[in-house]
Structures are given as C-alpha cells and as structure tokens.
Amino acid sequence: MNWQKVKRNYSDFRIGLPIIAPLLAISNFVLLAYNFTDLKDMMPIEIFGIIFATGFVSLMVLMGKVFRKKQQSTDFDLQFERARKHAMIYRIILEAQLRSFLSTDKQAIEIQETIDYLKSIESGTV
C-alpha cells in the first residue's frame, strides 16, 4: 500500500471537508425544519429552500461584517502581542531607523515609544 498517497488523500479530505460541511449542515437543517413543522402544508420545499438560503446567506454576510469590523482587529492585536520574535525583529529595524539621520524629532519620539512597546512584548509584560 502506498502510504504517501493515503496521507495525501487524507490531507485533501481534511482541506475539503470544511468547504462542504456547511452545505450539508444547511441542507440537513432545511429538510428537518421543513418536514417537522407545518411549513410543508403552507409552501413547497423549493420556495422554502430559496427563502431560507437567501435569509441565511444575508445573515452570515452581516455577521461576517460585524466580526471583521469589531473582533478581528482585536484578535490580530492579541496575536501580535504574543509574537515575541516578530516584536524583536521590528524593534531591531526601528532601532536602526532611530539611529539613521532620516528621523525627525517627532518621528524619533514615536519610534522610541514603539520600541518601548516592542520591548514589553519581548519581555512578556504586555
């Protein structure tokens, strides 16, 4: 048996599953909601499916926009504050910038404040 091919197929399966799983879950929910309520007496499943899909997609887009605007920037900030190596690299670059003759006084103050922040990330005190 070719284990590399099995591993590759398993990896492809793991990548493909999150793409198809929501579609299966939505179709399962539509069928259950339609069959176990009185909706089947009021409208055909085709109409119910279209109405549900339109409402569901609209709701997910709205929730995605809210998440992107409110939570995602916070997540990125927290992730950056845990990346000590990245903070060290940025600090070294900024220290080189601070020593250069291209920095104005205002820039030097901002760079020094950022360096102090990056040092606190490196030490784990943020």
User: Does residue 37 register a pLDDT over 70?
Assistant: yes
Would you tell me how many other CB atoms lie within 10 Å of the CB of residue 17? 10
Find the mean pLDDT for residues 22-28. Answer: 87
Please report the pLDDT score of residue 58 as a whole number. 93
Please tell me the distance from the alpha carbon of residue 122 to that of residue 81, in angstroms, as a whole number.
Answer: 9
Does 63 lie in the same domain as 11? yes
Structural domain count, the chain: 2
Question: Helix, strand, coil proportions of the chain in percent (round to 5)?
Answer: 85, 0, 15
Question: Domain boundary residue among 26, 47, 70?
Answer: 70
Does 89 lie in the same domain as 65? no
Please report the pLDDT score of residue 31 as a whole number. 87
Does 83 lie in the same domain as 65? no
Please report the pLDDT score of residue 101 as a whole number. 62
Does 59 lie in the same domain as 29? yes
Banded model confidence at residue 103, pLDDT cuts 50, 70, 90: low
Does 54 lie in the same domain as 92? no
Does 86 lie in the same domain as 63? no
Angle between helices 72-81 and 45-70 (to 10 degrees): 50
Instruction: Please tell me whether the overall predicted TM-score, pTM, comes out greater than 0.75 for this model.
Output: no
Does 66 lie in the same domain as 7? yes
Domain range for 64 is 3-70
Over the stretch 39-98, which tens digit does the pLDDT of each residue have?
888 889 889 888 988 998 899 999 989 888 888 888 888 888 888 888 898 888 888 877
Give the angle subtended at the CA of 80 by the CAs of 77 and 83, to the nearest 5°: 160
